[in-house]
Amino acid sequence: MALLTKKDAKLISDPLADNNPITIQVLGICSALAITAELKASIVMSVAVIFVLGVGNVVISLMRNIIPSKIRIIVQLIVVATLVIVVDQVLKAFAYELSKTLSVFIGLIITNCIIMGRFEAFALGNGPWRSFLDGIGNALGYGVILIIVGFFRELLGSGTLLGYKVLGDPIAKTGLYATGYENNGFMIIPPAALIVVGIIIWVQRSRNKALIEDH
């Protein structure tokens, strides 16, 4: 593919697998636990983070030579805060119900360690195009985990996917519920996300032994 050089493609593919921000670097856990009870919220959150991190990385990268290093954290915070407010307003305008569900967590994207981490570690030292790819890659890596967790938690916890009753109606006892199946209430509460993330980490490390840390 001529669109991306091999080195650039790595910027996107690495965070998706062997350098995943959630499962390998263990960043951004807070929002992964809080908003993944529903798949829809996970998807919206992922899109929001992809936007904030992609655009933010470019902005920081463009300004990297004029930011005085003593106040760079403040500058970074202002950039993130601006982008997050844009996301928040767009959600309030076009998806009001959802913005209420996500409520404080959109605002808390500002404190998501992944974003500040990428600004510090990458955007301050690389050009805009590579920073953009890095931002998109890391946000995608974050989003993939969020969507996997959201998928299992919504399917097992509520028996729905994106609000559709894929397993049948639990009250009218149709579909799978006719056999006596019941929703797993444990999946709705945040500790379940921790366990699902843990299982993903387990699966990932047993497939790639190089990821296992020495003690």
Partner 1 sequence: MSDKKLTLKKRLHIIKHHFRGKKMAPAFNAFHTFLFTPDETTHSGSHVRAADDLKRTMNTVIMALVPVLLFSMFNAGYQHYSAVNGFPENFSVIEHFLTWDNFWIGIIKVLPLVAVSYIVGLTVEFIFAVIKGHEVEEGYLVTGMLVPLIVPIDTPLWMLAVAVVFGVVIGKEVFGGTGMNILNPALTIRAFLFFAYPTWMSGDKVWVYEAVERAGGPDAISGETILGYLAQNKAAEMSYSVSDMFWGFIPGSVGETPTFLILLGGLFLIFSKIASWRIMLSAVIGSLVMGLIFNGVVDAGWIGETSKFYGLMSFDFWKHLIVGGLAFGIVYMATDPVTGAQTNRGKWFYGFFIGFISVLIRVFNPAYPEGVFLAILLMNVFAPTIDHYVVRGNVNRRMKRLKNATILPEDSEGKEKELQVETA
Binding site for partner 1 (CB under 8 A): 180-182, 184-187, 189, 195, 198, 202
> How would DSSP label each residue in 61-97?
HHHTTTS-GGGHHHHHHHHHHHHHHHHHHHHHHH-HH
As measured in angstroms, the least distance from the Cβ of 187 to partner 1 is 8
As measured in angstroms, the least distance from the Cβ of 198 to partner 1 is 8
As measured in angstroms, the least distance from the Cβ of 191 to partner 1 is 8
Amino acid found at 102: L
Instruction: Give the tokens for residue 40.
Output: 């829809």
CB 138 within 8 A of CB 118: yes
Question: Based on C-alpha coordinates, what's the Rg of the chain?
Answer: 19
As measured in angstroms, the least distance from the Cβ of 170 to partner 1 is 11
C-beta of 129 vs 186, nearer to partner 1 = 186
Tallying the residues shown for the chain, one arrives at: 215
C-beta of 39 vs 192, nearer to partner 1 = 192
